Amino acid sequence: MSTAIVLMNLGTPAQPSAPAVRSFLKEFLSDPRVVEIPRPLWLAILNGFILPFRPKRIAPAYEEIWNRSADGAGVEGSPLLYYTRRQAELLQEQLRNSGRDIAVEYAMTYGEPRLDKVIADLRQKDYESFIVFPLYPQYSATTTAAIYDQVAQIFRKSRDIPDISLVRDYYHNPLYIKSLANSVREHWQVHGQAEKLLLSFHGIPKANVDKGDPYYRHCMETARLLAEALQIKENRWQVTFQSRFGKAEWLQPYTDRTLIEWGKSGVKSVDVICPAFSADCLETLEEISVENRANFIESGGGDYRYIPSLNLREDHIKALAAIVEDKLPGTK
Annotated binding site for Fe(2+): 202, 283
Q: Which amino acid type is present at position 123? A: R
Ramachandran quadrant class, 111 (left: phi over 0; alpha: psi -120 to 50; beta: rest): left
Considering all CA atoms of the chain, what is the largest pairwise distance in Å, rounded to the nearest integer? 64
Whether the CB-CB separation of 86 and 20 falls below 8 Å is answered with no
Q: Which residues contact 93 (CB under 8 A, 6 or more apart)?
A: none
Whether the CB-CB separation of 24 and 110 falls below 8 Å is answered with yes
Question: Any idea what the Cα angle at residue 28 is, between residues 23 and 31, rounded to 5°?
Answer: 130
Burial of 282 (0-12, 13-18, 19+ CB in 10 A): buried
Q: Which amino acid type is present at position 271? A: D
The beta strands (E) that lie in the chain are given as 3-11, 103-110, 129-134, 163-166, 196-202, 237-242, 269-273, 303-306
In what order do the strands lie in the sheet containing 196-202? Answer: 237-242, 196-202, 269-273, 303-306
Residue 213's nearest CA partner among 143, 137, 313 is 143
| Annotated binding residues | 202, 283
